Structures are given as C-alpha cells and as structure tokens.
Structure 1
Amino acid sequence: MTDAERELHQIAVVMSEQGGRLVDYLVDSFRTLIPELPSDLVLVEMLEGSTGSNLEMLAHVFRGHVPIVEVQAPAAAVEYARRLAQRGTPPSALLRAYRLGQQLVLRWTGEQLALRQTPPAVALATSQLLMEVSFQYIDRVSESVMGAYQDERERWLANRSAVQREMVETLLRDDHVDLVAAEAAIGYRLRQQHVALILWAEAGDVGMANGERLVARIAQKIGSTTRPLYVPRDRQTAWCWLAVNRPGDVDQAAIEESLRGNDGVYVAVGSPESGAPGFRATHLGALAAYRVATLGQRQQPVISYGDQEVRAAAMLVHDLPSARRMVARTLGGLAEPNRGAARMRETLLAFIQDRESYVATAARLHLHKNTVKYRVDRALEARGKPLQTERLDLELALIGCAWLGPELLA
C-alpha cells in the first residue's frame, strides 16, 4: 500500500466517524444552491438518506473494501432519483447535486489533509488519488441514478397520462362525475374559466416534453398563471387546457409568437368557457377548428374557433356531401378548382364583407380599384347569377372554399 493509499484510508475512517455532520453539511448546501430540489419533509429525508448512503459507499471505496469497477448506486440514491422523477423535478437538478457533492467532499478531504499535517508530496499524491477515485465514483453512480430517473419518468408519465386520458374522455362524454375526484385525477382545476388547445405536428413527433414546454410558453404569453393540462393523444397530437382570467377571445398573435422556431407545429384554439361544462365546450370548439385546419388548405400556425369564418367552415365539415352540393349549386362556374377561379372567389368574398366597396376591397387585397371591379364582374359572370341572388348561401360557399378548398370543390 502506498503512502497516498494509507492517507486515503485514514480520511475514509474520519469520513465514517463524522458522517452525520458531513451529511447535514451537504444536504444544507444542496437545498441552498439547488432550489429545484423538493423541500417537503419526506423528500428532504430521502435526500438525507441518499447522501448518507453515497458517503458510506464512497468511504468503503476509499478504504479499498469495494473495487470501483463493482460499485453500484446505493438503493436509497436510486429511490430518491425515482421520487424526483415522479415529482417532475428537472434531471439537471439531480446531476448538479452529484457534481456539487463531489466538489464539497473534495474540499472537505483537502481540509482533513491539512489538519493531519500530511507531508506536501504525500498530500499531493493523495489529492490526485482522491480526484481520480471520486470522478470514477460519480461517473458510475450518476449514470446509474440518471438511468433510474429516466425509466421512472417514462413509466410515471405513461401511467399518469393513462389516468388523465380516461378521466378527460369521461368529462368530454359529459358523464356525471365527481368534480373533486376528477380534478385530483387530471391535476387541473375544472371550476374556473379555461380555453382548450389542440396541438399537432404536420410530420414527425411532437414529443411530450417538447409539447409540454411549448404549451407552458403559450400559457405564459396569454397570461395564464396556473399549470396547463397537457394530454398526449398520439405521437403527433395533444389536447390541452389553459386557465384564462377574463372572457373574450384569446390573443392569437401571442400564441403565434410562442410557436416561433417550431416549424411544422400547429395549434387550434377553442373559445374561453367556464366550469366543467365549459371544459367540454371549449374543447369541442378547438376540435372543430382542428378539423377545418387539417381538412383545409390554409397553412397558418394558429386557427381559432373565435374566428366567425372558421365557425362557418366547421359547420360545413359536419356534412361535406351536402356542402359540396350547396357550393356547386351556388357558385356555378365559379366553383372551378383552378387558380383563376380561386382569385375571383377571394375578391368576391372580400367585396361582400366590405359592403360592396371597391375602394375598401382594393385596400384589403392591395389591388387597384379597377382590378377589383374587373374580378368581381368576371366572378359574377362565371357564377351566372346576380350578387343578391342566394346572398347568404353565396357568402357561406365562398367562406367554405377559402378554408376547405379542394374538399368542397371535388
């Protein structure tokens, strides 16, 4: 045994003797410097158990009782990692605790070498040995506990999602449920005003963690102060509910800003509603907007049921065969599925919505007034009927074509 190994053996003896005080010192440091770690009594006791078991194992390694290649993460440390996963504590907090623990233990061992008045050459060799062994220990144990964390997090989320999905589907069926039990099951308060979102990816995987972060960012942007309810439906779709503080339409621009940098991800928004009945109603609105978006031709990141055109298109989606017949009968030759007819339909719809003002329509579409008049005249000619004939059906058909395009022109 070398002089450095003998010094390391003696430091391990002192570590075992002072284990209680050292655990207190480390746990206090963790709680002060890593605020993400849970602070309730049960989790603090588990942190103490994890820290103590790691120190005990490390002392055995220092004394040569356990070869470093045979080190396994202590059971208490693994269980603490699993509990953090269940609580949703960021994994970075757990990893920081191990790195901080290594730093503090190395500082403590340096103080012990100074107290023992170890000769400089031996102290240097011992410090190098301590550094090498501690890094090997942290690498092995942290890899093991992080693996346990990830496995537990996936299992916990799968179980939680299953419970949430079952209760959410019960609520959406409008079955009679106990509100207190339902709120406990889904982790979300029903007796408030909320707005539903449907989040989906055009291609690829939304990813649960990424989707939850995105919805949390949307909640922050629109002023929601409580945790959203996020329920994955499949790899590409999730249903969400956010608490809102006031009635009225949600700020669509704020949601669009939240989506920046997430190309290929889209959001359908319901109208704000209150209470458990509103939980269902706002989702039905979001679902209707989602159907319009996925059936239609507009590639915009956010679609809102608060938009009256979206509501009109959503009604047509419920009976597409009848809607197609109405479009063909009402538009006549204007129902051709080509770019020229699409431009005329767009101009005619804007003209109707701007109260038949050529000037206002030109301003809206960034066209010359004469161009607007030419397109309107050609549109009516293609239709084969005057503007006032079946005026309501005409506007509804034009709105449907604007949002659903080929689905109505087939």
Structure 2
Amino acid sequence: MAGQISGLTSTLHQHMATRITPLQGDEQLLRLLEASVESNIESLVHLLRYDIPVAESHAPAAAREYARRLAQRGIGVAALIRAYRLGQELVTAWAFTQLDEMERDTAVALLAGRLFSELTFRFIDSISEQVVEEYETERARRQAQRNTMRVAMVDELLAGRPVDVAVAEQALGHRLRQHHLAVVVWAEADSTDANPVANLEHAVDVLAKALGLTQTPLFLPRERTLGWAWIPMNRADSAAEPGRDLPLPHGVRLAVGRPAHGAEGFRTSHAEAQRAERLATAAGSHATAITSYDDPDVRAATLLANDLESTRQLVVRSLGGLAADTDGAARLRETLRAFLAHRGSFLATGEHLHLHKNTVKYRIDKAVEELGRPLDDERLELELALVAAAQIGPAVLAP
C-alpha cells in the first residue's frame, strides 16, 4: 500500500468526484478532497506498518480542513460521510485483490482480509467521527455569525433606517422586494419543552401551510421562548384565514400582522404583529392560539389594551351587569355584538348565531335590562366595551 499511495489516491478521488454530486464543478473542494484522501491513506499505512492503536489516530489536517470547507459552503454532512464510505469500500476491495494475487493459502488470505477489514473499519469510524465533529463545530460557528448579521440587519430594517436592499437580502437570505406576512411566535411561560426554539419555527411552518403559502419563512429566534418570522407572499397570493384547530406545538401561540410590500412592509407588518402579541399577552388564557391584526376587532382592542385600567372602567361603566365574568353574561354580550353588527335585525342575528329569532329577541331584551339604558345611548362606548370584553376577557371584566 505504501508504494501505491499515489495510484490509490487518484482512483479514490476520481470515484468520489463522480459520485458525490455537491462537489462537482468546485475545483478547490475537489483538490482539497484529493489531499484529504491521500493523507488518510498515509495515516492508515502508518497504523498498519507500525501497529499503532486506532484510538491514537487523529484526522489529518487536510481532512479536517475539507470538513470545514464543506460546512462553509453549506454542503450537507452526508457528502462528508459518503466520501469515507466510498473510500473504505474501494480500499478494502483493493486489499482483497492484492491478497488474492500474493497469497496462495486461502486460510491466510481470509484471516489477513478479515484483520484488514476490522482495522480499516475502526480507523474510518474514528476518523469520520472526528471530521464530523469538525464539520458541526464550523457549521455552528458560521450559523452564529450569520445569525448575528441577520439580527443586526433586522434591527436596522425595523428601526426604519435606510439600507441597501441587495446587501440586506444577502445578509438575511430573504427577498425584501416582495410581500411579507410578519409573525410573532412565543411559548407560554409554563412550557417545559426541551427545545422551544424548534417548536416556534415549526409553528410558523404550520401557519404558512395553513395559509396556502409555500415559500420558506425567514425565522429569527429572539429569546429562548420568543421568535419573529416573515412569511414570503407573491402579489397574487391571497392568504386564507387559518383554522382555529391548527396542529401547533403545545403552549405555542402566534400573533400575525397584515401582508405588506418591500422593506417598509417588512417593518409595518412586524409592528402590527407585535401589537397583536401585546393584546394576546394582556388577554392571557382568554386569547386564541392565533391573534390576527387583520381582524378589525383585534385592531381596536390593541388600542384598548394599552391602558387596561381605563379600559376596565369603560367596560364596567358601559356594560353594567353585562360586564360580569360569567358564562351567562358572555352569551348576552356575544348576541348583542352580533345584533349591533347586523343593524338590529333579529332574523340576520339568528342566522349568524344559528339561533331562532325569538331566542335572539329574548337575549337582547335581557341584555338591555342588564345595561340599564337604551342601546343607542353612548353607542360608540358600548361597542368599544363589547370589543374589549370579547378580545381581552377577564382582565377587563368585573369579577
């Protein structure tokens, strides 16, 4: 083997270059692969010749650098591992050919072949583990560096500062010259999941699919249990309203802005998602899993949630007995909101709530009784109080 390192290296290199697709066309990587192959064969020769324990073998410098370069180029670790599998296959086949030509005693050839296979397996197992560790370390370093750049660029965009769009897109890995749907995603405080960030990103993917959006979202973890995301949208996209029963990870909640275009839309949609998130936080367990700023009631309630004490006073003053935090009062509030939205039509309200019109009339009469005044008396405050009660819930209701 020592006398055939050059030929073996050439054979292995050509074999790998044609079978590992991500390497094709990258001359620098291919040259580094060749150096890695050669240095690994030399290390194996030393182990065989001098009976060096495999545990004391270390991945050659060229092999470690090859692993780092793959990580830097974003090539999957499978390409790295496959080179070692192909190398082991070819070197073992070469060794058995040599034994067949050199040794007439079949028992000796078989034993030598078995010893060679066992040693090369342990050697490849050890070296591949070392280079994979090198790969993962470099990938983590690059990811941290990239995340730092992305966070800095996102902060610039959200601050409304002028940025070079092309530079920003390169830093983010995300096109700005399109429509964006911003999302704030977080896990509840009592969540004990071991990997909350992965759950947050998964929740954004679930939302994107439910809305019929197919492009990959830009996801940015901000804290262990908080993330920001922007889902790309084509101009022709019409995001459907997501269902209430999305398969979201346990304890994960979402706040969504409205679609907007370009760098300015990137910022404004996020600002809306943050307002929706503050509303959901104020509502606590009363909030639904998804709070969308596209809902007019949500937009109104985000303003009311900025001053909960004043809103609580408004609710109690305007709703009277309907401000009670009870199931009965909640039913009357829901019926009254629908009645006002349908311009005082008992029939239309009944159709909307799937109730008989006589049931609607009974509830409205009861609601007016609890209010203690006509519906047209301070109508604007009444409607705002009903919105606050529906969106914020117990935080602004009377105990």
Shorter-chain TM-score: what band?
A: 0.7 to 0.9
Quick check: 1:49–1:76 contact (8 Å CA) kept in 2?
yes
Q: Which runs of 5 or more structure 1 residues have no equivalent in the other structure?
A: 1-10
- What is the 5 A alignment of 1:112-131? 112-116=98-102, 119-131=105-117
Per-residue CA shift, 1:175-214, capped at 9, x if unaligned? 2223233223322222222221122222245544554455
Deviation at 1:140, TM superposition (A): 1.5
Q: Distance in 1 between matches of 2:88 and 2:57?
A: 16
1:243 equivalent to 2:229? Answer no
Partner of 2:130 in structure 1?
144
Q: CA RMSD in A?
A: 3.0
- What is the 5 A alignment of 1:9-158? 11=1, 13-31=3-21, 40-64=26-50, 66-116=52-102, 119-158=105-144
Partner of 1:291 in structure 2?
278
- What is the 5 A alignment of 1:319-398? 319-398=307-386
1:267 to 251, 254, 266: 254
Partner of 1:8 in structure 2?
none
Per-residue CA shift, 1:113-150, capped at 9, x if unaligned? 44556543233222322321122122212222222233
Q: Distance in 1 between matches of 2:324 and 2:253?
A: 29
- What is the 5 A alignment of 1:194-233? 194-202=180-188, 203-204=191-192, 207-209=196-198, 211-212=200-201, 215=204, 219=208, 222=211, 224=213, 226-233=215-222
Partner SS for 1:389: coil
1:179 equivalent to 2:179? Answer no
**CA distance 1:24–1:397, shift in 2 (3 Å):** same
**CA distance 1:370–1:221, shift in 2 (3 Å):** closer
Segments of 4+ moved more than 6 angstroms:
none
TM-score (normalised: structure 1) = 0.84
Partner SS for 2:242: helix
Deviation at 1:307, TM superposition (A): 1.7
Quick check: 1:345–1:379 contact (8 Å CA) kept in 2?
yes
Q: What is the identity percentage for the equivalent residue pairs of Structure 1 and Structure 2?
A: 46
Q: Aligned AA for 1:305?
A: Y
**CA distance 1:204–1:171, shift in 2 (3 Å):** farther
**CA distance 1:18–1:80, shift in 2 (3 Å):** closer
**CA distance 1:266–1:79, shift in 2 (3 Å):** farther
Partner of 1:7 in structure 2?
none
Deviation at 1:278, TM superposition (A): 0.8
Q: Which runs of 5 or more structure 2 residues have no equivalent in the other structure?
A: none
Deviation at 1:236, TM superposition (A): 0.8
**CA distance 1:120–1:392, shift in 2 (3 Å):** farther
**CA distance 1:252–1:81, shift in 2 (3 Å):** farther
TM-score (normalised: structure 2) = 0.86
Deviation at 1:168, TM superposition (A): 0.9
Q: Distance in 2 between matches of 1:26 and 1:248?
A: 44
